[in-house]
Structure 1
């Protein structure tokens, strides 16, 4: 079986996921520019998603 190409995607609030590269990016998600096999994309996310909380969670109110 051939591995399908994947890409890492990100939301405005800082959540990351992977998405099949041949499909349109879902609404609310944006390509990060990282693509490859599933493992490569997941490794990149693990290295770059340093805080799994959505943006704004855990920040002091203004």
Structure 2
């Protein structure tokens, strides 16, 4: 079984973020999808997860936070 590129042991990943301040773990070997940008360069999966945990403290989209009168990330 080949598995998913999102959980390959020893692979490197990126932390991506979109304009709404939402984060994603992404395989470093894959092209970054449109609408996303790299927030953390290639790193082990756990380092990417830790980065996202530190920076994505409010899962609501930035547009919803703004509508609630709260600053975006």
Bin for the TM-score computed over the shorter chain: 0.7 to 0.9
C-alpha deviations, 1:1-36, integer Å up to 9, x for none? 851110100000100011011111011111013431
Matching of residue 42 in structure 1 with residue 73 in structure 2: no
Greater relative contact order (Cα < 8 A, sep 6+): 1
C-alpha deviations, 1:31-56, integer Å up to 9, x for none? 01343111110111001111110002
Consecutive aligned runs of 4 or more in structure 1 exceeding 6 Å deviation: none
Paired residues for 1:22-61 under 5 Å: 22-58=29-65, 59-60=68-69
What TM-score results when the alignment is normalised by the length of structure 1? 0.83
Corresponding residue SS for 2:62:
coil
Hey, what's the Cα distance between the residues in 1 that align with 2:54 and 2:42? 15
Query: Gaps (5+ residues) in structure 2?
Result: 1-7
Q: How many residues end up aligned between the 2 structures?
A: 60
Query: Gaps (5+ residues) in structure 1?
Result: none
